[in-house]
Amino acid sequence: MKLVMAIIKPFKLDEVREALTPLGIQGLTVSEVKGFGRQKGQTEIYRGAEYMVNFLPKVKIEVAVNDDIVDRVIEAIQASANTGKIGDGKIFVLDLVSAVRIRTGEKDTDAL
C-alpha cells in the first residue's frame, strides 16, 4: 500500500476528487496548508502599499491506496489538478506499512 500525498491549488479539489472516484477510491483526507515555492510575487494591497505574500493557500490531499492502482491515481491527480501555470503543486508517494479501519478493525487492503 502507498500513501499518496498531493499538494494542489484549492479550487482544483472538487475536480481531483471526481477524477479519483472512477478508480474506486472511496475515501480521502484533506487539509488546508500553505505553500512556499517557485510561484511568487502575489501581493495584497494595504492602504496604498503592497504586500508580498510568501505563503500561498494550497490544499493537501492524503489518500491511502493499494499498490496496483498507485500509478493510475498519480496520473488522475496530475491530469485533474493541472492548470499548466506555476504553482500547480506536487504529488509525493510514501510507503504504507499498514492500515486499520477504526470502526471494524479491518486491516490493510480491507481498511481502505
Nearer to other proteins, 17 or 72 (CB): 17
Subset of 80-109 contacting its own copies (CB under 8 A): 81-103, 105
Q: 10 Å Cβ neighbour count for 15?
A: 16
Residues in the chain: 112
Do 108 and 99 touch, CB atoms closer than 8 A? yes
3 binds its own copies (CB under 8 A): yes
d(CA 21, CA 12): 15
Select the residue interacting with ligand ADP from 62, 66, 72, 108 (CB under 6 A).
62
Q: Which helix (H) or strand (E) holds 72?
A: helix 70-81
Subset of 71-110 contacting ligand ADP (CB under 6 A): 86-90, 101, 103
* Residues at the interface with ligand ADP (CB under 6 A): 7, 27-29, 35-39, 56, 58, 62-64, 86-90, 101, 103, 112
